[in-house]
Each structure stands twice: as structure tokens, then as C-alpha cells.
Structure 1
């Protein structure tokens, strides 16, 4: 999925995070990703300039994202899925937020503006689990 265009990837993952499957049963919209993927959650009331900037950064860094098991999930608007993601991460519904979520399902960085891929990658690469992954490759 990482090889898709950023918008297609985000749409696919947003659909996958829907509340109609195992995630709903677990009560956590991120549970399907736990221990499998790190996530960059993009949250905003609409697809504004910050959302577009974060999407461009993601699109330009597909290879690095795939290497780090980093996927993108968008929480845009007031859909039930977006509201559930915001509630899970404690995000406001009235502004942009970007959140890096570790494979453990916990937020690692929360920012009110787009997070650079340099910051994303350096944060991930400093994580013990990622260090183990790099040693294993």
C-alpha cells in the first residue's frame, strides 16, 4: 500500500480504519495497526494547506516510509471515523494536527503543523523497536 499515491494511500487507510470491523470490537480505531505499522495521523476539519503540505512530504518520502513501516491515516471532517481517531488521540476537531503513532499504538509526536520527514524518520530511527529492526536487516 505504501507504493500508492499519497491521496490514494490515505483514502485506503482511512477506509480500513473504519469502525465496522475488528477495530470496533476492540474499541480502538488504531488497534488493527498495533505491532504492524507506525502511523502518521493527519487530522483537520478540512483538507487545508497544512494537510496538503503533509501529503506532499509523505508522497516525496515513500521509500523511507515503507522502510520504517510508516503508513498514513487521515481524520478529516466530522465523519464517525475521523471523530473516533481524534477522540482516541485526544485531538481537537477545529484545527490541524499531525501525530506520529508508534507500533505500540501510542502517540510519539503531536504537532500543530506538518511534521517534516526528517523529524519523523529521526524520531522513528531512535525508537528501540526500530533499532532492533535495523539490526535484523
Structure 2
């Protein structure tokens, strides 16, 4: 299992409620942890994790069509020349620090650490070395940074966007 797969698994597991983790353990024949209890409003055991709660993923950006995410998500693309780049590793660690904040803002993360692959994302966004790119729901580039950014900094940038302001207002009213 490579580093990206481990991080994606970690991110998915941290996004699951405790009750679902316990249900999964019971389904596999394992006994749940002694301090884990199921509440009456817990998700039924027959629901899959995807149906009960959306999982946060860090996805490969090599063959992604970014247009699929237009108007539904805010893509964050992390480029590096190698997965061993310390800035890349720091950025991934930063993104995993506050997964709920990213999910609230409809962020989906793509990574591209192979310049030789000449992916569509690389052709469109033209990174040099490490680069963090934030795209808006409209598909436009909202931010480019040559250094890792924290989820707090990303959240502040997203929260200033007009579409995000409308989302916040709609949530308050509804």
C-alpha cells in the first residue's frame, strides 16, 4: 500500500462516525472496542459507509476531468515533481488536519506527483515544481501557492468567495 492509499484510507476512516466503525467491526466478526457503544439513532448495519456519510478522499489527478466537479465541488490540486517532495508531504499532512472543514466547503483534493505523465490538470494549470491550486465551483483558478497552506488559510480564502457567502446565508435561513 503506497503513501497516497494509506492517507486516503486514513482520511476515509476519520470521516466515519464511531457507530459505523462499530457496525463494520461486528460485520467482520470482531468485537467492538469496550468504550464504543451504539446509540439508538446510529445508522443501520446494512447501510454502506458511502450511503451513511460521504468520505473525504485524496484522489489521483492523472486522469480526472475537472469539468465533472464544476458547480458541485471546489477542487484543490496539489502538484509536486515527486511524492517524496517535503512540501508535498507537508501539504497532505496539513489537509488531513481538518477534514470536516474541507467537507463543509465541498472541497475535493487531487494530487499529481508525476510531471512525465503530462496529465490534463498539468496541461491546464501549468505548475512548476510544488504548487497548490484552489479552483472555485465555477471552475476558475482562485488561488495558486508555491508553498503548503493550512486548512485554516484555505477555509478563509473559500469563505470570502461570493458563492460560499451565498451558501452560508442559505444555510442560516434554512
| TM-score using structure 1 length | 0.78
Match of 2:80 in 1: 44
2:164 to 127, 130, 133: 130
Q: Residue in 2 aligned with 1:14? A: 60
1:4 aligns with 2:49: no
Structure 1 gaps of 5+ residues are 20-28
Counterpart pick for 2:142 among 89, 108, 111:
108
> Alpha carbons of 1:5 and 1:77: their partners in 2 closer, same or farther (altered >3 Å)?
farther
**Structure ranking higher on relative contact order (CA contacts 8 Å, 6+ apart):** 1
Residue in structure 2 matching 1:65, options 102, 122, 127: 102
Please report the RMSD computed on the Cα atoms of aligned residues, expressed in angstroms.
Answer: 2.3
Contiguous gaps of at least 5 residues in structure 2: 1-7, 15-55
Deviation for aligned residue 1:111: 0.7
Alpha-carbon contact 2:63-2:119 (below 8 Å) kept: no
Runs (4 or more) in structure 1 with deviation over 2 Å come to none
8 Å contact from structure 1 (residues 14, 73) kept in 2 = yes
Question: What is the deviation of 1:114?
Answer: 0.6
Contact 2:63 / 2:120 at 8 angstroms: preserved in 1?
Answer: no
The TM-score normalised by the length of structure 2 is 0.62
Considering only CA atoms, is the larger Rg found in Structure 1 or Structure 2? 2
